[in-house]
Amino acid sequence: MESPYRDTFRIWGYRFGSGKKSLAVIGALRGDEVHQQLVCAELISRLIRMEKEGHLVPDHEILVVPSANPFSTNIEKRFWAMDNTDINRMFPGYDLGETTQRIASGLFEAIKDYAYGVQMASSYMPGDFIPHVRMMKTGLEDVETARLFGMPYIALRDPKPFDTTTLNYNWQIWNSKAYSLYGGQNDDVTDASAKSMVSTLLKFIHRIGLADLASDASKPSFDSIVFNENSLISLKAPAAGIFQRFVGAGCEVYAGQHIANIVDPYDGSILDELKSPCDGVVFYVLNKPLALLNVPLFRIREF
């Protein structure tokens, strides 16, 4: 798209191999998804080497799109700069609609025919969570293939009306096997975090028959636990104040365990002691210093 103030808006895709449209990997749909873009950049680097060394299986095409929202990234804004709309709430798009609808339409037209679709997604809640694969329950979701990522958890989400305009949902409706991967914070660009997600993607690429890698890539990293997001128990802030947590994502907790305090920001008194409502594992925890009233602080998967 032409821009009146900046360079032409372009979405760059990197294609590997040719033939059947087998896998599309999408990075940043939002301007602050730097970790997601880095993972795709690292994946592209690896695939370039693998293609040169002959490790990609013939007659298959892999497409990687590092970013679909470079304008917002340039000004460090999560959503579209002009009207604050979210590209991931605009699919399948409309080529004569508003700007983000046209971006979604152009992107989706290029990726909708791939057999597998992977989105490097980010959570709408700022916090730490256990790395996992997420799918919309459309009746077309493929849980067994999701296990091939080898991630600890597979989360299923019952779609709400606004979920029907997401990339994951529409990919499935257009008969792609779609998966959203959550592996780190948007601003977490540590080498270990990105390489871990790239390794996860490469193992998946190997296991679905698109690349020939080392034999250990065929072994699952985890026996993934499948659960519905509705089963997570949310613990909300009973008061506003400074959030002082004692456990992190992935920690096992027991019923009644003291896991956090809400501290009065003026006199340092304890406004509330938060205790775990059950035995389980902390799936999500807020990573901000301030807790606002009724905002979810923890989401716990009960044993």
pLDDT higher than threshold 90 for residue 20: yes
Nearest alpha-carbon partner for 22 in 166, 205, 144: 205
Query: Rounded to the nearest 5 degrees, what angle is found at the Cα of 100, between the Cα atoms of 27 and 3?
Result: 100
CATH 2.40.50.100 fits domain 232-302? yes
pLDDT higher than threshold 70 for residue 224: yes
Architecture (CATH level 2) of domain 14-229: 3-Layer(aba) Sandwich (3.40)
Q: What is the pLDDT of residue 223?
A: 85
Spatial CB neighbours of 160, under 8 Å, sequence gap ≥ 6:
none
pLDDT higher than threshold 90 for residue 148: yes
* Per-domain residue ranges of the chain: 14-229, 232-302
Kindly report the number of other CB atoms within 10 A of residue 269's CB atom: 10
| Cβ-contact 105, 92 below 8 angstroms | yes
Q: Which two tokens stand for residue 268?
A: 């340092």
Q: What is the pLDDT of residue 5?
A: 72
Mean of pLDDT values over 192-209: 92
**pLDDT tens for each residue of 88-142:** 999 999 999 999 999 999 999 999 999 999 999 998 888 899 999 999 999 999 9
| Cβ-contact 222, 152 below 8 angstroms | yes
Confidence (pTM): 0.92
Classify the C-alpha dihedral 12-16-20-26 as positive or negative.
Answer: negative
